[in-house]
Structure 1
Amino acid sequence: MANVRVLGPFEATVGETRADLGGPRQRSVLARLVAAGGDLVTADRLIADLWPGEAPPRAAAGLQSFVSHLRRALEPDRPPRTPARVLVTAPPGYALRLPDDQVDAWRFAALTDRAGTHLAAGEGDAALRAARAALAEWRGPAYAEFADLPWAAAEAARLAELRLLAVERRAGALLAVGSAAEAVPDLEAHTAAHPLREDAWRLLGLALYRAGRQGDALAALRRARAVLTEELGVDPGPALRDLERDILAQSPELAPARPALTVVTETVRRDATFVGRAAELDRLADAAEQARAGRCTLVLVAGDAGMGKTALTERFAGTLTGWTRAFGRAPETGGAPAAWPWAELLRSLAAGAPPDDDLAARLAPLLDDVPSGGDAQTGRFRLNLAVAAYLGGLAARTPLLLVLDDLHWADEETLTLLTELPGRLRDRPVLLVGAYRGTEIPARLATALAALARHEPHRLDLAGLSAGETAELLRAACATRLDAAAVTAIAERTGGNPFFARETARLLDAEGPDAAAREVPAGVGDVLRRRIARLPDAAQHVLRVAAVAGRDADLDVLADACDADEDAVIDTVEAGLAAGLVTEPGPGRVRFAHALVRDTLLTGLSQARRTRLHGVLAAALERRRPGDAAALAHHHLAWGGDPGRAVRHARLAAEAAEARFAHAAAADLWCRAADLPGDVRDRLDLEAAAIRASALAGKVEDARARRQAALPAALALGDPVVLARVLVAFVTPTLWTTHVYGTVDTEIVAAVGRALDALPAAEGALRVRLLTVLAMETEGEPGDTGPRAAREAVALARDLGDPELLAVALNGQYLNCYQDAAQREDRWEIATELRALAAGHGLPAYESLAHLLLHQTAVARLDLAAAAEHAAAGRRLSREYGLPLLEALGGWHRGLAHVVAGRLDDAEREYVRTGEHTSRSTVWNSARGMQMAALFGIRLVQGRVAETADAAGWLAEEWPHVGAVADIHALALHARGRTADAHRVAARAGRIRHDYLRDLSLGLRGLRALALGDRATAAAVHADLLPYRDQLAGGACAVVAIGPAAQILGDLAAFLDRPDEAAGHYRAAACVSAAVGSARWERDAAEALRALGVPAA
């Protein structure tokens, strides 16, 4: 993986090879992304930073070329046409996805922060290591190569300030561990170079005092007072004054920390991504306090492979101050000398505190591999006495922490000494920690554990990390950005095992999220296969059948499927429990400890055998659990040997899923059933159910595609009822269009007309839904087709008295209530009725929608407080009832609220986050387009429209049917100085539809007319926008607002030489701004009035 260094000479390496980063501007791209700390940097921002002032016409192409070259340099082994994993595209820009420890500036900042955290917690040794490691990263001034660029100067200043802080934290750590004299020289230099840093003077004074130089300490504080008085005209702060007073009084609080006897370097690698284990660390701390009080204390740490036993003991050791620490580890392979863990531990101790000659001679078998000679039993006894004497002597001087790891591999000599030492050191401050795998306890370890029980050890059994802790570990270990769903899935898949989670993160970085969700990381597979192979063959077979059954299985079903008695299956469960492969979630049930165990077993089965086992399990379930529709559907669908049974069980399971609002699960079942061979009428019935469930699950594109694919068969059948059911299956609660914006699907509209003409009179409910489809497919288009169909649907639904039908029809009517500005109140009434109807009749999807419609209309009415309440209620219901489409569509309010309040940076972050969320759930590119429009609105306010030209060009290509997109593009080109191109693009501007984007689109067109001096367009827009004068331009969609419509009307009137009208508009803009609480927009209105020479009120 790539490593990037900006502290000193700017460079990147891949492995041991220095990467060719190209010329100055190309290098600037990478440096700029490093400065962003892994966050997105928009393409427009990069262009502005690369070419301060005026960017060249082909700047965007140049940026893309730089990115392409950098990707090749940073990932030279990446296969062609595979996505980049280091310098990634993150619309609308780029980001650097590297772990913190792969970038020196990020590593430096994290270590400096860690030093401060350790200092605050009283962990001097850990703070000192972190501060020293941080300063070791510093090879020279940060971003020196780019010092003349504003972005680099700001980041370099930040890092330089962090370096000063790291110097001071190193000094504080030295004081904490009792090394005051060592801290003095650096602090003398530091205060001379930075004489205004009061905390540096405080540390210097304290260090001098603790080093026995009381007079020098007072002299240093006097120098500090003189500098502060001469340079700043101020007296020293309270910290310096208090220190001077305490030195004069020789306060006991200033006494130096007691130095440790020795610091022993651990023999195992420290884990850089340790998370969680707070309770276990607390218990270890309690044991340490017990030991410090003068009693040898034993702690036994048990856990599965990869559960973090070593990481826990290392992290704990790092928290101890004033202790001597040593580690020993039992080797996995044979051939090591006897008692090797003790030899490793004692040699590290002896390097810092050599034993006297007599004791060294007695310890020679462990310190120097010298044979003891004589009787073996006597030799072992004397050796163990010598070990106890040496350790007891060390413990008399400072508390002693001894850690023995991997005891499941320990030999007899290691375990014998372990069982003897607690008794021989009973009155010494010794903390003895032993760690082992609880699932791999050989007989000799079992005997040792029984012998140790009399010493009442503290026992820690490490379980998996919590979901939150696993998420923290994954985000620290994984270079790829993960969303919450991916983190949850991996946490479930790995069972919280830290090693498994890290290996999965590496697989994800290497091969992507699909592989991480499907495959078993190589290291994990090796561990699990070895453990499975230890089981008897019969047990392995039962576990493979259980793996096909699922994460959980019933023992009686397994026995039936394996043609075995239940006792044999129970024997398998007990063997699996002992091996840590399975658990017992309840009587008669077995569960794999984590999904990776199951996946490892499945990878050992051919597809043919897996399919056959699905059939075997389906038959067993038919006999044992005939009512378990979900399991029967799963196995029948996977087997495929009996399509009729598969469809029957899938239908039952899907209906049950829908009843509990599990729309995604229902959609999967319906879709799989619909894809099976069968009668065309039955298959179309299944297709209709699949379309409906997919839409409710937020898979709108899939739902519409399935409807389009089913339409020819439905038309060919010649049954208007079947055709209608396929067409109306796509009706889903929505506040945005559910087809390609600005277009009409004539094939769907024609099919709806054909179905309406032929539908029997008795099919009133289908007619309501068909009319609603017609209303939604034609909303915003010229003519009365959509509104008329919506009105007819509502009237018929009322006659039929069906609440759900009325909710469907009201949704269609709402979307067709944008013919003029006055219909804002009609929309409010429709949404209010829909809310009451849905809440009163248990229609959660439409209740959620109603709140979102009320939110939208409340923004148009300038009631942002009510809008916020309805947005929150709508999103809460959407989450509660599993409606991702509505949840995503309801996520824009916070961005709009930030815009109105003038918090533009917060607004940008919110729009980017919400756009990414919405794009996973909603239709085609509408989310991306809405996000781009929102960001354009922010750039408009910031005066940075020129930066958006490339993005606006993309928007114009993707949304050619949206009239105002050409206006956005023209505005951006004009801001870039490309006026001729702006006029050319403006000439292509299309019709502005009568929908939720009308007021926003008119406002943007008005701004374009002003920018290009287009009086004809200005006059036309003024007339069309006038009915929206008391609203925000963009208030109808409630996603983005570019200011009060009245402000734009005022600008248009002033441009058209109508000053009196302009003044009235600006006063109206001030009122609108005050109503929504936007001080910035109020100031804009007041300034416009002053420019006209008229008073604001």
Structure 2
Amino acid sequence: MRTRGWLARERELAAVGRLLDEPDDGPRGLLMVGEPGIGKTTVCAAAMDLAGDRGYLVLATRGSQSETGLSFAGLTDLLDEAADGLLRELPEPQRIALEVALARRMPGPAAGGQREVGMAVLAVLRRLCEHRQVLIVLDDVSWVDTPTVEAVRFALRRMRTEPIRILGTLRLDQIASALWREIPVDELRLEPLNAGAIEQLLSSRLDLTLPPRVLRALVERTAGNPFWALEVGRALARQPGGPTIDLPLPASLIAVVTERLTGLEASTRAALIAVSALADPTVSLALQALDSVVANPGKALDVAVTVGVVVETAGKLRPAHPLLGYAALEALPPGGRSALHRRLAEIVKDPEQRARHMAVAAEPPDAEVAVALDEGASVARARGATGGAAELVELAVDFTPPDDRWALCRRRLEAAEVLYAVGEPERAARYVDENESADMPPDLRRRTLPFRTELTYWARGAPAAQELIRCTIAEARDDQHLHAVALAMASDVGDGRGGDRD
């Protein structure tokens, strides 16, 4: 195996081997849990090599904090290449939905939904499984965007005999998503490395050999965390007179990372910040983000890659470790953070990304940001990313100026519609309540009464829906249109006076 030599993760790799060699048909999973920096991503890479050696087709994505709001970013990683020869075999609604989700086609007037995307993912995975066993890798799964996770979950729930395996990694402080309840899953906690493994790690990565007493002190103080050990090893290597047991150890991991960032040149740190803040950081986009910020954007990126804080693969960039990117962004003062996101909002093309950057850069209320969030939500819904759209429409409500009564009512209803679509009727009903108390414009009351009645019925029961109809009928004597709509709804759910739906 190609990456196994210095890992010292025999227990974890043995668990991966059992997952891959499991003879039973149908989906099976392994969820590896550990603290930040413990080596989950490194074990994932080794597991992918192991799967490749066994003839598996490996579909992988790595979650990123900056990409959690980028709908179907993970699905693009998983299926962009694998689906090439299969798209034409899909039924047209599924093919179009998947092409839109993978950003291969612009959304059309008849927007597909999460179900169509899920059905397309199911069809693609089934066809792939006809020829080879498939391993899906979801590294840092809590940071994989929700629409991707839901599409995979939709497919797994319907697979019975297909030879598919799922490998995921999760931080200790995060909660496993509902995806892992759909299939038999083993959970494995990654333990700290021992002194021998840390010694090999320092030698292979840093060409650093420590005296036994210093090594023991390092392992004890870092609790065997490989990321901590590497960071401290770099600090030891810079010590005048060579490493001693007087370790230059900050009190926490964040302090270690901050020390690493402090040692960077300003332009290198700016490159790391730009890459960390972008949801889809290509080289060209990162260069645009650095333009006018540093004297030589290309050199800044090159240095960031050379010193090991940014990694480049096939034109895509990412922080060398998620904690580096997180710490770099958190270290920015509020004004600097706002300026960064305003700049990024001007260069990104995707309306979803643009809206999110604008929202981070501004303080509500802000009518311009609210409009951008509207546009981003529309794109997300058109792509079938209903969960992402829900987040954006709720932000749009928050950013709407209170005196823009019509826009506020409309956006509350849009929020209610999207939340209802993703299965959160109680939260949806709260937005409807806010509109009722705010005295909705008459045309909006007429147009949305059927939805408001249906939502109230399913969120709070028939009596509440009937009360809504009774009040509407009583208040709409001078509005014949609204009165007629209310009577039509009464014929469906009843008005509490007999002849009810139940």
Question: In which range does the TM-score fall when normalised by the shorter chain?
Answer: 0.3 to 0.5
TM-score, normalized by length of structure 2? Answer: 0.48
Q: Which has the larger radius of gyration?
A: 1
Structure with higher RCO (Cα < 8 A, 6+ apart)? 2
TM-score, normalized by length of structure 1? Answer: 0.24
Greater share of helix? 1
